[in-house]
A and B are shown apart, each in its own frame.
Chain A
């Protein structure tokens, strides 16, 4: 049953990913992207990695897709459709995608994946939190703080750009 659900989710992800890049209506492409991301979250739930699944839902499905949809709502029009791509461009893209897919598949299939025989470790919230703020061995406090400062700088920058100039 788990295997059946996995193939179902994998099929959903693949189908909607392809539809997302081939759709000629921009908002539909965003919605297909949402379904692909939800499928990924479902696979995380199946792996019982609940934290990552919830983060996937909040950040990607609830955050990034909303942002994309919002910007489309502000700029696009409903009748707008993209022009079908020229045959030459489509062929070139297909060739590039084919080569990329071939290399990836070759690498994955060639690599012998050996299970280490250990039982699956439960990754709970407390472990994640403590590892992030740990300054001893296997602690990530420095990267965590550096990323925090980077994000803060990005937010301040965004506010400065969006702020209206008041000329008196």
Chain B
């Protein structure tokens, strides 16, 4: 079985064939699902640990500090040490809390982000879930996470948790609208909601460049709204530590707190990967127009870089952008937050969709 780093279709079908040669169809499905599940759990843990480390380093760089540097070379084992500490900590339970909901809430949050990750096209042929309604699926499953946050706030039986959960709920429900509408622009351009088709439509240029001004406006709105949806700064007033202790996860400790923490970072990854897929062509290399002289040599050079490097490179860029937001802008108040969404982003978005439809009808885009 030769491993082709440009196209994984051969590898996945070879695994499928060798499994179905030995096992019955039902057993094959179960084994394949188990393999994919384990791969995603490992991926989830690794990316989560790396992102926590990256955030601390980026934050330190922006604030002219050094960041973690004691555990391992340049502190790369710091998050692993932190994680072991969290695993061994005592799980506290507040008096009069609703125990069932209190324990359930972190799982709802983490399952929602886990389901969304399955739909990401990591490289050509490396795509676990490819529905006809891909974009709608990702929006639908990531929308379930808010229930976990609301339940966590309620079941802690703590006024800070409850206020944090209410703020977070209002924020996520409003900004979901903007995320969906910004993606609508690209759905109109690509003529499909299937993620693999959207990626394929960007073979001759990414939608951010092909779609003129509407795509750029949609991209900016998407980045703002999805930063708000992940409850990250400057929209982190759900866990504003100066006023609400720690918001909805005040009462959580140990591994249950780690679940919320990990889910927040994974949501950031999901959002960045989703933005990279829809606006920047996922694993598609950067190509320039054939009209420019020597363009074919440039494009060949770009094709030489494997798809998964493109995917993680683009995702990493967007994650860096989101971290930059967090450590640059001051936190918004709740009224400013809702004004931004309902009075600015939503009307701009609606007008943008009409302009996009006009562009597509007249064939003005590339």
Contacts and interface: CB of A to CB of B under 8 A. Distances in A.
Interface of A: 1, 25, 27-28, 31, 34, 50-51, 54-55, 57-58, 61-63, 65-66, 69-70, 72-74, 78-79, 124-125
Contacts, number: 87
Given A51-B132, A69-B151, A124-B132, A28 B143 contact: no
Contacts of A73: 150, 153-154, 162, 165-166, 169
A107 B94 CA distance: 51
Interface residues of B, number: 34
Nearest to A61: B144
Contacts of B151: 27, 31, 69
Contacts of B358: none
23 contacts: A1-B30, A27-B151, A27-B155, A31-B147, A31-B151, A54-B137, A55-B136, A57-B140, A57-B143, A57-B144, A58-B136, A58-B140, A58-B143, A61-B144, A61-B147, A62-B144, A62-B146, A65-B147, A66-B173, A69-B154, A70-B166, A78-B157, A125-B133
Interface stretch (B97-105, B204-212, B225-233, B330-338): B97-105
B199 to A, nearest CB: 17
Contacts of B136: 51, 54-55, 58
Contacts of A28: 98, 100-101
Contacts of B150: 66, 69-70, 73
Secondary structure dominating the interface of A: helix
Given A28-B100, A58-B143, A74 B166 contact: yes
A75 to B, nearest CB: 12
Interface in B155-183: 155, 157, 162, 165-166, 169, 173, 176
Contact of A50 (B26, B132, B139, B144): B132
Given A28-B101, A69-B169, 5 more contacts: A54-B137, A69-B150, A73-B162, A124-B132, A125-B133
B96 interface: yes
Contacts of B43: none
Sorted nearest first, the 3 A-B pairs with minimum C-beta distance are A62-B143, A57-B140, A1-B26
A18 B131 CA distance: 32
Contacts of A31: 101, 104, 147, 151
A110 to B, nearest CB: 34
